[in-house]
């Protein structure tokens, strides 16, 4: 079976108590945490792999962010 290369955007949100919460927008409910950026990225990699394994086990389909664009908008709010 040929392996697919999937690409995922992650959001690294700094927490007040330290560390980073990681959210994977393309995979609903795929959220993890790391004490620093390096650990947060490693945890995201593990969480994504676990998510994909669960989807495969249950016969679901997966999407990726390969063709999605990510942008930031700055809004002035009064």
Residue 24: predicted pLDDT:
95
Asked whether the beta carbons of 63 and 53 are under 8 A apart, the reply is no
Measured from the Cβ of residue 44, the count of other Cβ atoms closer than 10 Å reads 23
CATH number of the domain enclosing 62? 3.30.160.250
Residue 63: predicted pLDDT:
83
Nearest to 43 by CA among 32, 35, 58: 32
Convert the pLDDT of each residue in 5-25 to its tens digit: 899 999 999 999 999 999 999
Q: If you average pLDDT over residues 36-56, what whole number do you get?
A: 97
Q: Residues 41, 52, 65, 70: is their CA dihedral positive or negative?
A: negative
Beta bridge partners of 33: 21
Per-residue pLDDT band at 52 (split at 50, 70, 90): very high
Nearest to 48 by CA among 76, 26, 66, 70: 26
Distance CA 40, CA 21 (A): 7
The tally of domains found in the chain comes to 1
Res 1 pLDDT > 80: no
């Amino acid at each position: 079976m040929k392996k697919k290369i999937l690409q995922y955007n992650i959001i690294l949100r700094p927490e007040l108590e330290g560390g980073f919460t990681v959210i994977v927008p393309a995979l609903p409910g795929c959220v993890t945490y790391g004490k620093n950026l390096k650990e947060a990225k490693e945890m995201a990699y593990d969480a994504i792999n676990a998510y994909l394994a669960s989807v495969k086990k249950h016969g679901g389909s997966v999407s990726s962010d390969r063709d999605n664009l990510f942008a930031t908008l700055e809004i002035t709010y009064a």
